[in-house]
Structure 1
């Protein structure tokens, strides 16, 4: 390695104004120093300072000027020690501290969480709302902020929690909408991965996120929106008054190995190449498979051909999966090969556990994933393999935007200077991504055309007028305004709301007897469940009959283990993966639909109130005690909660206990609980409990 010559190249690029290329060359040089164990020379430190990569400075070989900069850019991020920010992190922090509202595009490896944490630590805002795209990212964010700020703030992640004097709210969009009516004001609204507000980039999630942005922006003094790989933002009402900062500031270098032409679409050859990569590389590897069927292919390949792991931790994990889920489940076998699976269907605690094990030296070495790995968690790896260019949505191919997000998981600031990217399928053509945010048709029914006249097309205004006329005819002017402006209606799709109102108006007698859903006899639920499911066709993931029977069997979720429930579902041909998918769909969609039916029936049509809140509460928590279901988001699987309850260590059936009260009691009983599980001899259950307790403590 000719370090002096490489420094010369970096300096020439900087002098020529090409800082991005200079930073790439510098990062590659730092990687070579790390591999060889060589200390930095003063000139290397000087170049690091010029590039703005202040955290990378090696202080014992730095000049006093470089050490001064390293110290000057240190900030309090809520930890035990101050952290040095890089130049662009500091730039954003100063804008936020000046009270500006900014929308930021920055690379995945940028280190955005340091900016948020430093703002909280320095400014001490009273109420902060952080909107994240998934439950998994909710817990990841909660864990980070709980450790740093749990003694000063109440961290709220569920819609039924009450406000304290100082609060950090961390919600996916749907919960944010539910919680909006409890808020009087926010000091700052933070939207993570705000590109998901674009209908073009995330059709499924954009309506709820846009609705949340509209509701909470009105309450917030300041806004901070974050996304990767956005080149520009088209003028729109959602980011009005915000400055757009496009920061192409990479802190790692992505080294690409494009092998797709050599493979030429040959699946056998592709499999051989993947196995060769895995055998020859070191460090952790993310494998983007795209679709569920591709995950099955890669999983089958790894189970058949990958070497068995020698890690006792993974042996314990595999045994625990076999006991609590299914011994024949591919994940149970895959873990023995040092690999895991990440998708949007798994139980929350299982996804979190695998990400945790991926961070462990003797844990998972590989994760095979759908796009959930780029949407749901902030993780990265030394190696990223693009197995497929499919998006997971039908036969569609990934966009250049998604491709950049996937490969952006390679490398990590302060850990891996270089991320190795192996491309086994044809990548998309590179394009600039202009973010276009507009009111989608799904939200038109909840939109006042006077407020958005400049942001709506003539066709959209006509649709709003037609929608208004139809609903006014059914429920009158006051009823229409209630539907348009209410925070108590959870369904974001205007067409579904109209269908509910129409059916309630035209067939009121068919809705009599909703209270039968409160019955302990599951056979009493059939007629109404079929009727309710048909209000949203095509979203349940199985036939109406299968979904109804699944709900009835799921009602035994607290009494039976998952293997016992699966045995009851054999005739429905529902395996463990289908179980995850259906439970997720039912608990996500059905409670809101039921609640909206009750609200609309009572408020608009003058029908006697049908209080089915007991049934709605049960469905919302998958027929588990509410706190048990919520604790899964905190990393505590239901199987362990059942053991704690049945051993008499804690009463999870106490209906007066909310999540914060339960956590406080579990903290008080920590030693007893750990001693009990230690006496039972399941080492992995102890591992899970220690992970759980890490996430509910603070400094």
Structure 2
């Protein structure tokens, strides 16, 4: 695939030049690579305020308004013909963004590095606006992957790449046979996953010290490593301090608000609330409590949108919270439970941990969201079926023109499941 590369590094006003380029129809479909989710949201929103490039995205915008909230900047962004793709977005919505991009219904897609990780796109043009990922310069390998998105899927004979910064230096690629050449030099979070018969005497001694310091067996160490052992040690100390003041960590089954808050306070004494999609420990507790009692995901997200008064580009941090419910919060709650059990063995967070990992909704609904059917659609129809029965039920409703589905939703279901 031939690729023409254009250097725009010397342009004075790069943002306006970016908007000038994406306004040109001969560039479409175009990917705009940026460094972070907030950056993608902000640029997409600004572009949407300057121009409208598609009339084919109105149904998607209406769906977002009704199911996420009219105050979400995504609504106007999509209505104007721009898509956004990054790691905060729910998988079903992210998949729909890519699908409509490939159909040219969303001719321009602002994206982060998540789009180069196994997602096929039919881009004609790639505009590499930033040169960083998570505040660090990307390497030549990543740059080549991003650049390689131009002209994908055989739909465009010549791809175009616009560079707004100098590309990284070419570096020879070295292929290492193992992750760590010497396990004695490997980090603790890695060696605790090695089988006993595989480790050296030095590593065995290290693991034994970790077990003693944390009071955990081999399985417990592996769980603790999922949040990093250094944080686990801090959590152990925080649990001891909290238990000396209150019994709110001593619960089993379904916790009260104050009991959830007690665990969250311990976690947030070690980790920033922002890592879980909240500004404070109090807000994180409220999100968990509100999600648990919400009758539907639609109700939860609409209520959030009604109360949100922060920056437009961070409106979707609620999606980061939902991702943290899947992975991050369950592991931290489980590690806290391990340390609480060292004091009172009857503590049992298992039911809560399992429930939060699928948003306090039936697991089938979250799994289908991962497969491309948003939970806001599937939760209307679920009545306790197993996965196969429920998938067949959704397909039947979509094919038969159910009045509980819009034509757009029917097409979404059939495209995702058939």
TM over 0.5: yes
Counterpart for residue 615 of structure 1: 352
The residue correspondences of 1:30-179 to structure 2 (distance < 5 A) are none
Q: Deviation of residue 327 (structure 1)? A: 2.1
Q: Structure 1, residues 226-250: CA drift from partner, whole Å, max 9, x if none? A: xxxxxxxxxxxxxxxxxxxxxxxxx
2:329 aligned with 1:590: yes
Residues 423, 326 of structure 1: CA spacing in aligned structure 2 closer, same or farther, 3 A cutoff? same
Q: Report the TM-score when normalising by structure 2.
A: 0.83
Preserved CA contact (<8 Å) 1:384 1:407: yes
2:386 aligned with 1:386: no
Preserved CA contact (<8 Å) 2:68 2:301: yes
Find the aligned partners of 1:424 and 1:534 in 2 and give their Cα distance. 40
Find the aligned partners of 1:428 and 1:474 in 2 and give their Cα distance. 43
Counterpart for residue 316 of structure 2: 577
Counterpart for residue 260 of structure 2: 525
Residue of structure 1 aligned with 2:3, choices 254, 262, 276: 254
The residue correspondences of 1:141-540 to structure 2 (distance < 5 A) are 252-261=1-10, 263=11, 266-267=12-13, 269-276=14-21, 278-311=23-56, 314-361=57-104, 363-375=105-117, 377-391=119-133, 393-394=134-135, 396-435=136-175, 437-438=179-180, 439-447=186-194, 451=198, 453=200, 465=205, 468-469=208-209, 471-472=211-212, 475=215, 479-483=216-220, 491=226, 493-501=228-236, 514=249, 516=251, 518-519=253-254, 521-537=256-272, 539-540=275-276
Preserved CA contact (<8 Å) 2:399 2:410: yes
Preserved CA contact (<8 Å) 1:554 1:565: no
Find the aligned partners of 1:468 and 1:287 in 2 and give their Cα distance. 49
Find the aligned partners of 1:673 and 1:520 in 2 and give their Cα distance. 39
Residue of structure 2 aligned with 1:635, choices 356, 369, 372: 372
Q: Deviation of residue 367 (structure 1)? A: 0.6
Preserved CA contact (<8 Å) 1:290 1:389: yes
Q: Deviation of residue 637 (structure 1)? A: 1.2
3-state SS, counterpart of residue 310 of structure 1: coil
Preserved CA contact (<8 Å) 2:291 2:300: no
Q: Deviation of residue 369 (structure 1)? A: 0.7
Q: Structure 1, residues 19-74: CA drift from partner, whole Å, max 9, x if none? A: xxxxxxxxxxxxxxxxxxxxxxxxxxxxxxxxxxxxxxxxxxxxxxxxxxxxxxxx
Find the aligned partners of 2:142 and 2:65 in 1 and give their Cα distance. 34
Preserved CA contact (<8 Å) 1:674 1:689: no
3-state SS, counterpart of residue 627 of structure 1: helix
Residues 616, 370 of structure 1: CA spacing in aligned structure 2 closer, same or farther, 3 A cutoff? same
Q: Deviation of residue 532 (structure 1)? A: 3.4
Find the aligned partners of 2:240 and 2:32 in 1 and give their Cα distance. 51
Residues 349, 490 of structure 1: CA spacing in aligned structure 2 closer, same or farther, 3 A cutoff? farther
Find the aligned partners of 1:399 and 1:671 in 2 and give their Cα distance. 48
Moved more, 410-419 or 583-592: 410-419
Find the aligned partners of 2:238 and 2:322 in 1 and give their Cα distance. 27
Residues 276, 601 of structure 1: CA spacing in aligned structure 2 closer, same or farther, 3 A cutoff? closer
Q: Deviation of residue 673 (structure 1)? A: 5.0
Residue of structure 2 aligned with 1:565, choices 286, 303, 313: 303
Q: Deviation of residue 501 (structure 1)? A: 4.9
Q: Report the TM-score when normalising by structure 1.
A: 0.52
Question: Gapped runs of 5+ residues in structure 2?
Answer: 181-185
Greater C-alpha radius of gyration: 1
Preserved CA contact (<8 Å) 1:490 1:596: no
Residue of structure 1 aligned with 2:283, choices 532, 535, 546: 546
Find the aligned partners of 1:402 and 1:275 in 2 and give their Cα distance. 26
Q: Structure 1, residues 473-506: CA drift from partner, whole Å, max 9, x if none? A: 664xxx554545x6x6672522234344556678
Preserved CA contact (<8 Å) 2:398 2:405: no
Preserved CA contact (<8 Å) 1:553 1:569: no
RMSD: 3.4
